[in-house]
Amino acid sequence: MRRVVSAIMWAWVASAGGLAQAAELTAQGPRECSDVTDISFRVERSIGMPLAQAAPLTFDIVMERAVSGYVAHLRATGESGTAMQRELAAADCRELVEALSIAVSLALGVGDDGATSGARLESSDAVAAQLAPPSQPAPAMPAPGDDGAGQGPTLDGAVPVPSLSLWLVADAGSLPKLGAGASLGAEVAWGKFQVRASGTLLFEQQTRVEAIGSPAPGARLDLITGALLGCTAPFAQLRGALAPLLCVGAEVGRLTGNGTGVASPRQGSALWAAPLVQAGGFWTIPGTSLRLGLLALAATPLRRDEFTLRGVGTVYRPPSLIGRLSLGFDVTLR
């Protein structure tokens, strides 16, 4: 019944369109959603003809992120200037694109005799009395004939979405004491998948060996690493309002120490290499491309070299398991 009502609504606009020769479709909004080629492909497959041969309507689509997913504002205009609008909502881009494709296809629908459905409609006043409120979201249903066998773009987020991130890091285990640091990352996401690269600096720490005398011998230690991870959002879209994240990867770097409190201080360094897992989530600030994130990381150093002072003993040796907590934000590059 809802499809019949929608068809009547959009066909009323089609009947007011005059004698233009082609339908037109434009879309704007978040890059992961506003793929005009994808929407056009679905519509043309549904109506069985190119848009250039369809009813003379102009469709303007504006999409934006919402707290619970995504919202699209669809405006259909005939050649005479008559227009109608509808608002659709969905939890992710794929559902939203499918709902938009259905709405546009119904407006351009072709009957059994090859004539547009608007040629067989009653008055628009009678139709308007049956319409649901424009803000009512359309059902997330697959486009007619969408069995996955067609060619062309059909996946949400087919266009890679780059972003940059900045984090404050709390660390336990990489250095002798609980420490702090900063991390800068670059990401590329598509659909539910993401590749993340980051560089992390843990600020220098001073550690000392218990010994008689003053000053006590010890060392200043710091750690610089680079990491590469593959991530996915197991329960939602990566660019949704609330997006969980699960990553696996590895980091490599250099652990550096400088002796202190000894007659001849020396500098030493050791290779740092560790597989890691990371989990957390993001919250998108409504109306912006900024997301706040909280991530927890666990890693196992493959090399645990000892830092020693000659004649004094071991200053530090990394444990077999370390953990970090990162709080920060990322911004989408459009």
Q: What is the pLDDT of residues 298-327, one digit of tens each?
A: 999 998 888 777 766 778 889 999 999 999
pLDDT at 121: 31
pLDDT confidence band for 182 (50 / 70 / 90): very high
Q: What is the pLDDT of residue 21?
A: 59
Q: How far apart are CA 318 and CA 225, in angstroms?
A: 15
Top mean-pLDDT range of 115-124, 263-272, 274-283:
274-283
Whether the predicted pLDDT of 23 surpasses 60: yes
User: Domain extents for the chain?
Assistant: 2-128, 161-332
The pLDDT of 20-40, averaged and rounded, is 78
pLDDT of residue 191 exceeding 50, the answer is yes
Report the pLDDT value the prediction gives residue 279, as an integer from 0 to 100. 95
Residue 289, pLDDT score = 86
User: Mean pLDDT lowest for which of 25-39, 100-114, 243-257, 279-293?
Assistant: 100-114
Cβ atoms of 262 and 244 closer than 8 Å: no
When pLDDT is cut at 50, 70 and 90, the band that residue 136 belongs to is very low
Mean of the per-residue pLDDT values of the chain: 77
**Tens of pLDDT along 77-97?**
877 777 788 888 888 888 888
CA-CA distance, 23 to 20, in Å (whole number)? 8
| CB contact at 8 A, 168 and 179 | no
The DSSP string of 267-302 is EEEEEEEEEEEEEEEEEEPTTSSEEEEEEEEEE--S
The C-alpha R_g of the chain, in whole angstroms, comes to 29
The pLDDT value given to residue 291: 92
What is the predicted pLDDT for the residue at 329?
95
pLDDT of residue 195: 95
Q: What is the pTM of this model?
A: 0.54
DSSP sequence for 72-102: EEEEEEETTS-EEEEEEEESSHHHHHHHHHH
Of 296 and 53, the structure prediction assigns the larger pLDDT to 296
The length of the chain, given as a count of residues: 334
pLDDT of residue 39: 86
Report the pLDDT averaged over residues 25-45: 82
Q: Are 326 and 182 in contact (CB under 8 A)?
A: no
* Band of residue 202 on the pLDDT scale cut at 50, 70, 90: very high
The pLDDT of residue 41: 85
pLDDT of residue 135: 42
Predicted pLDDT at 185: 96
Q: What pLDDT, on the 0 to 100 scale, is given for residue 213?
A: 59
Cβ atoms 154, 46 nearer than 8 A = no
Please state, in angstroms and rounded to a whole number, the distance separating the CA atoms of residues 188 and 208. 43
- At 211 the pLDDT is 61
107-117 average pLDDT score: 50
Quick one: fold of 161-332? Answer: Porin (2.40.160)
Q: Residue 280 carries which side chain, given as an amino acid letter?
A: G
Q: What pLDDT does residue 293 have?
A: 95
Question: Residue 18 pLDDT more than 60?
Answer: no
The per-residue pLDDT for range 204-236, each reduced to its tens digit, is 998 877 765 567 787 889 999 999 999 998 877
